Structure 1
Amino acid sequence: MRKNRQFDYQPRYFDDKGKGNPYKIETKFDKFRSTTANQRGLKNKISNALSDAKRQGDRNIKIRMAVIIAILVFCFLYIIDFDLSIFFS
């Protein structure tokens, strides 16, 4: 009888050194997020939320978001035929 063939196949994400689980799904930004840390207790959650709120974001994104919201509000007011003359005398 003939012997079975053997192949040297290794999966792409296989770690033969044992430095991690090859089946664990983790995004590349998880280590930079503050929300993925183990947060036990109400005090830790509140302090993390306050520190995230104090952190400055990108100013361009804030301006862009304000413009988009303003356009959507004006479109909604136009659709429902809202009369803006009540604000002006």
Structure 2
Amino acid sequence: MGFLKRTHNKFDYQPRYYKGDGNPYKIEHKLDQFRSTTGKNKGLKTKFSDAFYDLKNSDKSVNKTLFIIIAILVLIFLYIIDFDLSIFKGN
């Protein structure tokens, strides 16, 4: 009864354009090597402290752009929920 005994065949598949350095199936972002918040499995507190450190020491134009985008999104959200924006205007 040969059909009850099945062996799994292993194939030595190599991708066509594989250059031979590293694992070709490992998915990694190009900029992960420059980020301090990716990599090792750290605790939640360490991840937040690394993210705040990166935010403090990053380019100031990025921070300004980020704050402008967040402000626009908050105003759009307030408009969607029909918040009375007239309280921000002076008499």
Band of TM-score, shorter chain: 0.5 to 0.7
Aligned-residue offset at 1:70: 1.0
TM norm structure 2 = 0.51
Give the corresponding residue for 1:35.
37
Of 62, 68, 72 in structure 2, the residue corresponding to residue 63 of structure 1 is 68
**CA distance in structure 2 between the aligned counterparts of 1:43 and 1:22, rounded to whole angstroms:** 33
**CA distance in structure 1 between the aligned counterparts of 2:23 and 2:19, rounded to whole angstroms:** 8
Give the corresponding residue for 1:76.
81
Query: CA RMSD, aligned part only?
Result: 3.6
Structure with more relative contact order (C-alpha pairs < 8 Å, separation 6 or more): 2
Aligned-residue offset at 1:45: 4.2
> Structure 1: where are the runs of 5+ without partners?
1-9
> Identity across aligned pairs (percent)?
35
Larger Rg: 1
Partner-residue secondary structure (3-state), 2:82: helix
**CA distance in structure 2 between the aligned counterparts of 1:64 and 1:45, rounded to whole angstroms:** 24
